[in-house]
A and B are shown apart, each in its own frame.
Chain A
Amino acid sequence: MINGNDKITEWKKEGRKVLGYYCCYMPVEILTAAGVIPYRIIGNSKEQITEADAVLERVMCPWVRNTFDQALKGNYAFLDGVVIPHVCDAVQRMYALWRHYSGISYHYQFDIPHILSDSSFRFFAKELDLFKESLEKFLGKKITDEALQDAIQLHNENRRLVRELYSLRKSSPPLISGTEVLRLLKEGLTGTPVSEFNRMLKEKIAECRKRTPQESEALPRLMISGCVIDMTDNCALIEDCNAHVVMDDLAIGTRSFWFEVESGHDPMTDLSRAYLANIRCPRTITGKKTIEYKEEFKYRWGYLKDYAEEYGVQGIILNLLRFCDAHEYDFIDLKNYLQGIGLPTLVLDDDYTLGSIPRIKTRIEAFVEMLQMKNPV
């Protein structure tokens, strides 16, 4: 079972609804404002895919396949509804398929521009508005601007707290491991009301600040970048190889939390501007026309350099999910960029089962050893 957990059962007893959603581009503020508990759809690479193949092609994003398999098995039956934005080709297909097979009564899909422009921000804001209307009809209640503003504040606080938690990894050695961070984020994202999530974060931050790790315990510092890596096993595997994962560029990690929703306009416009412009997923491009690609690289991936500098990252692991078009087109350029900034890179080809393949350990161990030699403590 993904999460037939007790807290959700409790909340449902109170009459509260739980809505599932795919990916970073779903502004959770809308769900919070609606009084609904957001539940980010995650996979479970430990579970064998047994149902999906009868209905869905195999040669596609293995993460999406895994989540769909979960849906077919009824692991998500506790959801009252699912929002499946048009993030990428694979996720987009899930809308019709979940509607047909999941047994859940409410589904919605909105479109998301791929290229940034003023019109794109307007378009996305309107899509969110139309979604809000649909949600209001489903819930039988209005979602006021005030509720949205409150939700925006709460989620901004949430993202700030996550960034604060991350900052505890800057020290040598970090005060909290990558695995622990991702575990907490995962829990917070899956069926936890944001106020509770914030409380969990504050508690963890306070607890970490009391920790006193020894300098001698410092290990090579890594960053992990990739598509949707939502299995903490991957991170644990890496950390088991005597390394610290001090930073990440993941969908359930920094990509979801490294921005603020600024006020200035109506809530939907604010959400549209924040989400569309700040999420670092290759499905969105800037549409810049320049042929000075080196400039372009800096614009697209300079944030990785910033992360590396801020967090003292010594090496980066690129976890490339098979069949992910968005990431695959970028891959060669990204490798060149990382080489250009002198950041050692290990590329892992993943079919969303890597966590269960300890053989990968040898490659990671070798990478870590190499970094150790480069950066003796």
Chain B
Amino acid sequence: MITAGIDVGAETVKAVILVDQELVGWSMVKAELDRRVSAEKALQSAEAMSGLPAGSIQKIMVTGSGRKTIAMADGNVSDIIATGRGVFFLFPSVKTVIDIGAEEARAIRVDAGGDIRNFAKNDKCAAGVGAFLGAMARALELNIEDLGVASQRSRQHIPINATCVVFAESEVVSLIHSQIPKEDIARAIHESVAIRITSMARRIGIERDIVFIGGVVRNVGVIESLNRHLGMDMLIPERPEIVTAIGAAIIAREEME
């Protein structure tokens, strides 16, 4: 069976193609104003990569925001479900997924069959983690990748107590003025993020194995802080961006069976 999954995100659109259980093609394109155009482009690009003849795809499942507008799809599914399925495909031992994007953070509990058992999202009053890290990086005059690297060189732990972004930024600025080394501040920032994410995950219960996905995966500082607060090392997929699209493609296959 040949199925495709398309994940329509806020900033990017991802497409993958599965031949039965095998990933044969994938692509990520920038999201244009008309998501349908981006979905087409992503799918075409994935098809090209797969080397499959045109028209081979038997079913297309779409997920993500705006999924209901993608007419070419044969069906759509909630991204929480698609994410769970996709992670389960890559890591059958997964029980907890932590997904951190620019604006949203989620925790998903997956059962032994790859189905969703529970989920939670970050509080509305809190800024998205990605956005938060971006703001803090700017305050420290670092780019986001270097923020994570810097935190690894930290020698001491300084707590940031403020739970609100505005107050936290204020705290960071004062730490800078107090001549605290950037590495320590960077670490404090990651600690504060890790505490928040761990709290969210604990609301639904944390069970190993934990898989970490989402844009923020690229930040080594977050990974390290989270591992420490969760009390175990998270598994990280090679291509975290396409996990949800993979889940959609799998659901497409399951629906055909």
Contact = CB atoms under 8 A, between A and B. Distances in A.
Interface string B160-173: 11111001001101
Interface residues on A, range: 20 to 34
Name A's interface SS: loop
Contact of A59 (B125, B171, B198): B125
Contacts of B200: 53-54
A59 B123 contact: yes
B196 interface: yes
Name B's interface SS: helix
Contacts of A351: 162-164, 167
Interface in B177-206: 177-178, 191-192, 195-196, 198-200, 202-203
B161 A353 contact: yes
Contacts of A55: 203
Interface in A329-377: 351, 353, 356-359
A359 B167 CA distance: 10
A356 B168 CA distance: 11
Contacts of A263: none
A59 B200 CA distance: 14
B215 interface: no
A357 to B, nearest CB: 5
Contact of A54 (B160, B167, B174, B202): B202
Contacts of B198: 50, 54
A46 interface: yes
A62 B163 contact: yes
B72 interface: no
A46 B161 CA distance: 7
A351 B178 CA distance: 21
Contacts of B195: 48-50, 53
B173 A54 contact: no
A48 B160 CA distance: 7
A313 B167 CA distance: 29
B171 A353 contact: yes
Nearest to B164: A351
Contact of A53 (B161, B162, B177, B196): B196
B184 to A, nearest CB: 15
Interface residues on B, range: 20 to 34
A185 B191 CA distance: 34
A356 B161 contact: yes
B159 interface: yes
Nearest to B171: A357
A190 interface: no
Contact of B199 (A53, A59, A353): A53
A128 to B, nearest CB: 36
Most chain B CB inside 10 Å of its own CB: which residue of A46, A51, A351 = A351
A233 to B, nearest CB: 11
B1 interface: no
Interface string A39-56: 000000111111111110
B37 interface: no
A353 B167 contact: yes
Contacts of B23: none
Contacts of A51: 199
B161 A48 contact: yes
Contacts of A49: 161, 163, 195
Given A53-B196, A351-B163, A353-B167, A358 B177 contact: yes
A45 B160 CA distance: 11
B161 A359 contact: no
Nearest to B194: A50
List 6 tightest A-B contacts by C-beta distance, closest first: A53-B199, A54-B202, A353-B161, A48-B159, A358-B174, A54-B199
17 contacts: A45-B161, A46-B161, A47-B161, A48-B160, A48-B192, A49-B163, A54-B199, A54-B202, A54-B203, A58-B126, A59-B123, A62-B163, A353-B161, A353-B163, A356-B162, A359-B174, A359-B177
Interface of B: 123, 125-126, 159-164, 167, 170-171, 173-174, 177-178, 191-192, 195-196, 198-200, 202-203
